[in-house]
Structure 1
Amino acid sequence: MSELIGSLFVLAGAFFLFSAGLGLLRMPDAYTRIQAGTKASTLGNILVLVGLGVYHPDWAFKLLVVAYFVLMTNPLSSHALSRAAHAIGTPMAPSTFTDALKDRDDEGKARPS
């Protein structure tokens, strides 16, 4: 029974990893690609790790450490990538209405250094 449950978790994780790859191809700009790739790949990786944990319970501690690093590094790296893309002026999709960092950047440029 644990093999079936573990396999279902791995299959669900593979679905989210596939959707992350599809999101990278289908999204209109760099910012939405980063967001789609990060959220779906984080969830997909965690589900695969849970499936492996169910399938191989003796690997639980190692898988927990890997899950911790995935949960810490994926959001941080996506944040750094999006801030860097915004800093170099990567254009947003025409359907984007709000640029929360634009006002902040304009304030910083208005003040003399």
Structure 2
Amino acid sequence: MRVLLEVFAAVLLLGGAFFCLLGAIGLVRFPDTVTRLQAGAKAQTLGLVLIMIAAALLVPAPYSALLLLIAVFQLVTAPVLGQVVGRVAYRTGAVDRRTLVVDELAGRLAPPDRDPGSSAGEPEDTTAGQDPGDGREREP
């Protein structure tokens, strides 16, 4: 019975390590803040929880309860942290709003000094109404 428990814990440890590796690769390879948040919040949390469960299976009961408490704390805090970082990124213009499928924050949480309809990170067009070739104004 002990051997079966150790094999199951080893599988959970390897699975947790795999998800942590995927999360780390996602943090390095993904192009923007929103997708990096997904990699950090989802994969890293699942990896840590699997590792904590595996460790809890192999240690005495008082330590198991502590490990499971750490896993629950991680499950509660990771989504909140992701939400806060995502809103800060949105407000500071680190999120390319053109890539969002649905922008629920457009009317409520616009980046500072910008109107809600403009795309974050795009400079304002100061040449509107001018001919790009000679700098003179165009006739309407």
TM-score by length of 1: 0.84
Q: Could you tell me which residue of structure 2 aligns to residue 97 of structure 1? A: 101
Partner amino acid, structure 2, of 1:40: A
Alignment of 1:1-113 (within 5 A): 1-58=4-61, 59-92=63-96, 95-105=99-109
* Compared CA separation, residues 23 and 94, structure 1 to 2 (3 A): farther
How far apart, CA to CA, are the structure 1 residues paired with 2:30 and 2:74?
Answer: 23
Range 97-106 or range 17-26, more displaced: 97-106
Greater Rg by CA: 2
Paired positions, count = 108
Q: Please identify which structure carries the higher helix content.
A: 1
| TM-fit CA distance, 1:57 | 4.3
Provide the aligned C-alpha RMSD in A: 2.0
CA contact (8 A) 1:31 1:92 kept: no
SS state of the match for residue 108, structure 2? helix
Counterpart-to-counterpart distance in 2, 1:105 and 1:30: 17
Q: Deviations over 1:56-75 (max 9, x none)?
A: 24222111210121111111
Contact 1:28–1:93 (8 Å) recurs in 2: no
Percent identical residues? 33
